[in-house]
Structure 1
């Protein structure tokens, strides 16, 4: 017999957003260049969504 549990996050949106930003800033070396700030759904942190990272080319 398999039991499925669904977890709902009832906190305010700003708290959820802050948690995602914290995960990125703490565990990802590209956090300053990333425009996504996906949190744990990011591919770099074990999720399945590919982040958008902006790199600037060096001028010659």
Structure 2
């Protein structure tokens, strides 16, 4: 499952993207936040998600 949200910390709002995955009873997630200017495109890298899924076997 993938989702996007806007979080606020100390009055500053920032977008975040999260991928949540499950295998058996194990649940994991990978998140991404933009570097630099907000508004530029950013994503959770598929290579990172694939590596984490591979660790689950």
Please give the range of the TM-score, normalised by the shorter of the 2 chains: under 0.3
- Which one has a bigger Cα radius of gyration? 1
TM-score of the two chains, using structure 1 as the length reference: 0.27
TM-score of the two chains, using structure 2 as the length reference: 0.27
